[in-house]
Amino acid sequence: MRKILSLILVSVTLLACEEDSNGPSAQPPSNLVVTVDKSNITDGVINVEATADMANFYQFDFGDGNGLVRDDDGKITHTYAENGTYTLEVRANATSSVYINHTEEITIEKGDVVIPDDGYTTPLSYDGYTLVWQDEFDGTTLSSDWTHEIGTGSNGWGNNELQYYRSQNTTVADGYLTIEAREESFSGQNYTSSRIVTMSNQSFQYGRIDIRALMPEGQGIWPALWMLGSNFPTVGWPSCGEIDIMEMVGGSENTVHGTIHWDHDGTKADYSGSKTLTSGTLADKFHVFSIIWDETSIKWYIDDTKYHEADITPAQLSEFHENFFFIFNVAVGGNWPGNPDASTTFPQQMIVDYVRVFQAN
């Protein structure tokens, strides 16, 4: 997946702003020097470094709606998600209102992600089932069924993950949802990505679920297509139950994992299975990840090949007889995959063609 990006530096301005107060004014910094490193430009990445005399901290506004980002060392990485012309502003601050700044016009012309045409697909109907909900990701924005979860969560979402989740890493275009993991400094983290949920909008009890998706790749990349019990806000995890329709650990891109997690007398319990492809990887072409879930069991499939089954009739697994909502995300790092290393390239994309829910007639 290759991205083409061109960067045109058009204009530079320097100015100083001083706060108005009755006491002595803070002195603005001086000799601001800004360097834009384009060595990773083919990945859509720019690295900005600022130095100035008497600066206490630096602020960066990349002109794409994220506002000012503070970095005390004056070094920051940014990836532009969309083509366009943006005004980059770099401030060297003595205080929040006493600073000198530097601006540049940046024009982004980034090529589209190359999406393969081949891969497995599934039908829009099955005997004995009715299609009750679907998202084909038509249009240019997420539907109102989805919302973003923002930030780092608790302890890296409970897994020591390294990314900051934000909405800017999600795009919808040409019939596909793309969640992109980027190596960029943002709000104290070195990576960004997205995590979207249907909580409070769409939830389901039982049925067949098909998700056609293309995975990212690389050590430390951790994509997931999964579900949580709708009572999560009140009972927490793992009491709400968790159904992992698909997880992949970067570095082992030829293996899909399917898992359930639940509460067993106050202790977390889980039951997992996996399937390793005989050839190729989950990042080579589209695969369809499915579960068939009813009153007695949950069965996991890849491309209509069953590879795992869980009996959910025991009373201890009562969580799996309630409604569940969807979560799609790409994590970076964490307890399971470990951290990215020198072999990991960014950005990385998980691309989803469709999600469909069928329920028995």
Residues of each domain in the chain carrying CATH 2.60.120.200: 129-360
Q: Decide if pLDDT at 22 tops 70.
A: no
**Residue 262 pLDDT exceeds 70:** yes
For 114-143, the pLDDT digits (tens) are 788 889 999 999 999 999 999 999 999 999
Write out pLDDT tens, residues 160-188.
999 999 999 999 999 999 999 999 889 99
The stretch 85-102 carries a mean pLDDT of 94
Share of the chain above pLDDT 70, in %: 90
Please tell me the predicted confidence (pLDDT) of residue 18.
44
Distance CA 326, CA 356 (A): 11
> CA 260, 261, 262, 264 torsion: positive or negative?
positive
pLDDT tens for each residue of 299-351: 999 999 999 999 999 999 999 999 999 999 999 999 999 999 999 999 999 99
Write down the pLDDT at residue 195: 98
pLDDT confidence tier of residue 66, bands split at 50, 70 and 90: confident
- Residues in contact with 278: Cβ distance below 8 Å, sequence separation at least 6, in sequence order: none
What is the maximum span of the chain, computed from C-alpha positions, in angstroms?
79
The structure tokens listed for 193 are 């990505």
Lowest mean pLDDT among 35-39, 251-255, 273-277: 35-39
Query: Which band of pLDDT confidence, cut at 50, 70 and 90, is reported for residue 2?
Result: very low
- Alpha carbons within 13 angstroms on the beta-carbon side of residue 219 total 7
- In this prediction, residue 50 carries a pLDDT of 96
Give the pLDDT score at 40.
Answer: 63
Domain with CATH 2.60.40.10 in the chain: 13-108
Phi, psi of 262 (to 5 degrees): -155, 175
Residue 225, SS3 per DSSP: strand
Distance CA 140, CA 175 (A): 9
Question: 13-108 maps to which CATH number?
Answer: 2.60.40.10
**Residue carrying the six token digits 């299975």:** 273
- Residue positions annotated with a catalytic role: 242, 247
Q: State the sign of the Cα–Cα–Cα–Cα dihedral 224, 226, 232, 235.
A: negative
CATH assignment, 129-360 = 2.60.120.200
Q: Which residues pair with 300 in a beta bridge?
A: 291, 308
> Which ranges of the chain would DSSP assign to H, the alpha helix?
232-235
pLDDT at 79 over 90: no
pLDDT at 15 over 60: no
pLDDT in the model for residue 9: 36
What is the mean pLDDT of the segment spanning 202-221? Answer: 98
| Rg, Å, the chain Cα set | 23
Note the pLDDT of residue 45. 74
Write the CA distances from 222 to 155, 219, 272, 326, integer angstroms: 16, 9, 16, 17
pLDDT for 17 beyond 80? no
Among the residue ranges 7-11, 25-29, 318-322, 330-334, the one predicted with the least confidence is: 7-11
Residues ≥6 apart with Cβ < 8 Å to 234 = none
Q: What is the pLDDT of residues 335-344, one digit of tens each?
A: 999 999 999 9
